Amino acid sequence: MNRFVNTSLLAIFIVLFASCNSNNKPKKKFSKALTENDSIELITGQIKLDSSDYTLWKNRARLYLKQGNVDVAFRDLNKALELNNTDPGLFIILSDLYFTIGKVDNSLSSIKKAIDLQPENPAGYLKMARVKLILQKYPSASAFADKVISLDANNPEAYYIKAISALEQKDSVQALTFMKVAANMDTAFFAANFNIAVVLDAMHDSTAGIYFKKAIGNKPDNALARYSLGMFYQKQKKFDSALAVYNRLIAIHPDNAEAYFNKGFIYLTEYLDFEKAIDAFSKAIEIKPDYTAAVYNLGRTYEVMGKKKLAEKKYREALKLTTNYPLAIDGLNRLEGDH
């Protein structure tokens, strides 16, 4: 049995959606950025001047929904619908509101209404594809994405939805193809680049590193992308590169316990630098006191150094955190056998 525990090989979850920033139009710069509350106040002032403009109620409803203020968002949206019930965008927002409160059938009905109002508008089909994907109706999600593509051949999110649908149906090759199409259409599509890397990494393809770096380029502050690149290097046995990535991650996110843990694991098992291993594991525990694996590996480091009392203490702490933790039990048995 492996006497160390490495949590660097954690499963990477699939990021479902991300904005396609490269397709956004340039925005006017302001000396002071507006907050959502500022925007709501501005729209409220405009409504007082002209309460007959349904777009004002629509925009404020969208902002309230973004804040999670569902009841007020419903109120504003109902007012907008009283003024204009032919705008499909209103029914798209309504679908989001219903989905937020768990009324899935109402959400789907609202999307269908948006589609009926403008059958040639891809927005309704795209929303339906998103919801079907969330509901794990993968063939249906892919079919609606195909409809989007038939109306808008250069829609990267539609290809991305097809990719995730294929991936969930265990077709990694097709998923990879669709993801690459999405990433090529929108080079700033973080989720596409990141998940290309995840799929390639699972296929033991060394080019995964290229896409992890692209994802980091899309979102330099994203902890998951940097952590995944570090894991990639660690599995490739490029330990200096892995440590450099973890150090950069810690510089951006000082509270990332997993990055400290992985540093400790490398120092313990690869470089035999026990003092650095102790420092890294200790910092991981300081950030996350219930980090059983870090507590155990700190004990294992002490054991390797011959500091048996400290090792025993940490193994017992690990058992307090996780009852019957097998590696800690094995550690105590080893120490008992050495007496």
The predicted pLDDT at position 6 comes to 60
Tens of pLDDT, residue by residue over 76-98, are 999 999 999 999 999 999 999 99
Quick: pLDDT tens for 48-82.
999 999 999 999 999 999 999 999 999 999 999 99
Whether 135 shows a pLDDT value over 70: the answer reads yes
Residue 31 in this model has a pLDDT that exceeds 80: no
| Type and span of the H or E element at 90 | helix 88-100
**Per-residue confidence (pLDDT) for residue 163, from 0 to 100:** 97
Query: pLDDT tens digit string along 266-296?
Result: 999 999 999 999 999 999 999 999 999 999 9
- pLDDT confidence bin for 337, thresholds 50/70/90: confident
Q: Where do we find the tokens 């991936």?
A: 167
Q: What is the pLDDT of residue 35?
A: 74
CB 20 within 8 Å of CB 187? no
Least confident of 14-23, 294-303, 328-337: 14-23
Residue-level pLDDT at 28? 40
Q: Which among 299, 319, 318 has a CA at the least distance from the CA of 309?
A: 299
**pLDDT range class, residue 8, cuts 50, 70, 90:** very low
In degrees rounded to 5, what are phi and psi of residue 38? -60, -45
Q: How far apart are the first and last CA of the chain?
A: 22
Flag whether pLDDT at 207 surpasses 90.
yes
Residue 52 CA to residue 75 CA, distance in Å, equals: 15
Q: Quick check: 250 pLDDT over 90?
A: yes
pTM: 0.84
The CATH number that domain 255-339 falls under is: 1.25.40.10
* Alpha-carbon 226 to chain mean position: 12
